Amino acid sequence: MEKRELKISYTSYKSIDELPHDEKLLLNKAIEATSGSYSPYSGFSVGAAVEMANGEIISAANQENAAYPSGMCAERSALFYAHSKYPGVPVRAIAIVASHNGRITPQLTYPCGACCQVLSETQSQSGSPVKIVIGSTNGAIVLDSVSALLPFAFDNYPK
C-alpha cells in the first residue's frame, strides 16, 4: 500500500477588483449573465462566461424546470453553446458566480460534478488548461486548470 497526497493550488483574491483585467472582465460577464437565470424553485441564480481562444465570450445562466432534473446549469449551458457556435475553437477560461434574490452571494459557488466532468472534457479537447475564475462578494479564486477541481476525471475522449 502506498499513501499519496493530492495538492491543489489556486490564487485567492480578497476582492473582485484585485483580479487581473481579463479575469475581472470575464467574471463581470458572468455576473451580467445571472440576470438571465430562470430559477423560480431555488431562487439561486448562476451565471457563467466562457472565453474562447478566438477572443469571443459566451455567457449563460442556469435554467430550472418543474420536471427536475430537466434544468441545466449555467456552466454547461455556456460551454455547450460555445462548442456549437465555435466548433473546434479551444476554451481558454470560464468564470462562475451565483446570486440569490438579485445579489451576488458571499460564498464561492463551485461547479457541480456534472459540470466539472464537462469542463474536464472541454479541457481535454482544447489541448491546454482551462482557467476557472469563481467570484463572490467576499473575493475570488482562480484555478489554473480543471484538474484542480476534478483530479481523477473520467477521460474517455479519443486522442
* Residues catalogued as catalytic: 75
CA-wise closest residue to 27 among 99, 82, 114: 99
CB–CB of 133/95 below 8 Å?
Answer: yes
Q: How many CA atoms lie within 13 A of 86 on its CB side?
A: 19
Rg, the chain, Cα only: 15
